[in-house]
Amino acid sequence: MVKAYQKGRIEMPEKTFWETIKVQGGELLDQVRKILHEGNVRRVRIKQEDRVVAEFPLTVGVVGTVFAPILAAVGALAALLTDCSIEVERAETSAETEPPPPPPPPPPPTEPAA
């Protein structure tokens, strides 16, 4: 399905997948900080058992200063939560969605000099 036409380009819808990471309360802030800096993250959910405690949608191109309020909230949660999980929605990179290019053809055989 085509998402949009833009100056002769066709943009396809982005494919995403979810990953779940189990952490203890003390590891929560460090793990979320690491996840936020990876770059292909679209959404982060913090869950305790089956209950979503916090959810942070992220956009493409978010700079580091925008992470400060998110990390402050996660730090406060880390003080209250013991066993929890982080659900991360990630965007597939183009390398994951496109097949690799075919290998180059072998060079032609060379004839020995006479």
pLDDT at residue 42, rounded to an integer: 86
Indicate yes or no: pTM above 0.85.
Answer: no
β-bridge partners, 6: 9
Mean pLDDT of 4-14: 57
For residues 93 and 41, give the distance between their C-alpha atoms in angstroms, rounded to a whole number: 11
pLDDT, tens digit, 9 for 90 and up, residues 26-76: 788 888 888 877 777 888 898 988 899 888 887 655 555 567 777 788 888
Residue 94 in this model has a pLDDT that exceeds 60:
no
Residue 100 in this model has a pLDDT that exceeds 70:
no
For residues 18 and 20, give the distance between their C-alpha atoms in angstroms, rounded to a whole number: 7
The amino acid occupying position 74 is V
Residue 79 in this model has a pLDDT that exceeds 80:
no
